[in-house]
Amino acid sequence: FHPVLADYPLSSGEVPYAYRPIDGGWFDAGDYGHYVHNAALVWFCIGVAMDLAPDRHFADGELNIPESGNGVPDILDELSWGMDWAMSMQDQSDGGVYWRLSSGAFDTGLPSAVSEPRFIYEKTTRATAQFAAMGAIFARLIQDYDAPRAALVLDAAEQAWEFVRTRPIWPAEGTLYRNPTEHPGGGEYSLRSSKPDMEWAAAELYRTTGDVAYQDAYRALVDETPFDVT
């Protein structure tokens, strides 16, 4: 845990420098950080493509990955690998989601040569809402192949939504996230509002569950959500 987790509005008493197991997921780019903000786009693009066009060519065995041949479309197996990581970024004590796992500074060597500590950074409203949307999409997609896995992920997504609904928005609305001074990590990926991701979460959870409480939340956010089509 990054030491900044000990004292900020969404802290749950994490002990600085204590360890937490993290599994799965993808490196971001030339650096080896894992960002919820960037992983969320995978679900929005690939997950929604599967969701809205299931008759297109999403087949088992098309990518020649270790899971090929298990009866599940390969791209869904890949999303499952990402979901393993996303689930490990959720704090089970309250449902909040840590937004980034990265070295304290950008790595400069090959992955096998990295020896610096990797840090888990703060839970944020935005990352937690994104996780709720990701989980709702994944639960819909995996339901026909692995119903227990779908139920597990959907429960985690709903816990994330409850965190977003009941905890303070952080960083506060209208402000930008800034890296801590000590072990600043990688990119900040700052936006001034978490509401677009909250609305996305409400929409995906409503579509997956049919619970009108999510529809009500979506409608309440529509008029106050600052959309940027880019």
> Shortest CA distance to 36 belongs to which of 131, 122, 165, 117?
131
pLDDT at position 113 is 85
pLDDT at position 230 is 63
Walking along the chain (230 residues) 10 residues at a time, the average pLDDT comes out as 96 95 86 92 88 85 95 94 97 97 88 87 98 97 96 98 97 96 91 94 97 96 77
Interior CA angle at 218 toward 216 and 224, to 5°? 115
pLDDT at position 229 is 67
Spell out where the chain has E strands.
34-35, 100-103, 118-120
Residue type for position 114: V
Sign of CA dihedral 1, 96, 45, 60: positive
pLDDT at position 186 is 86
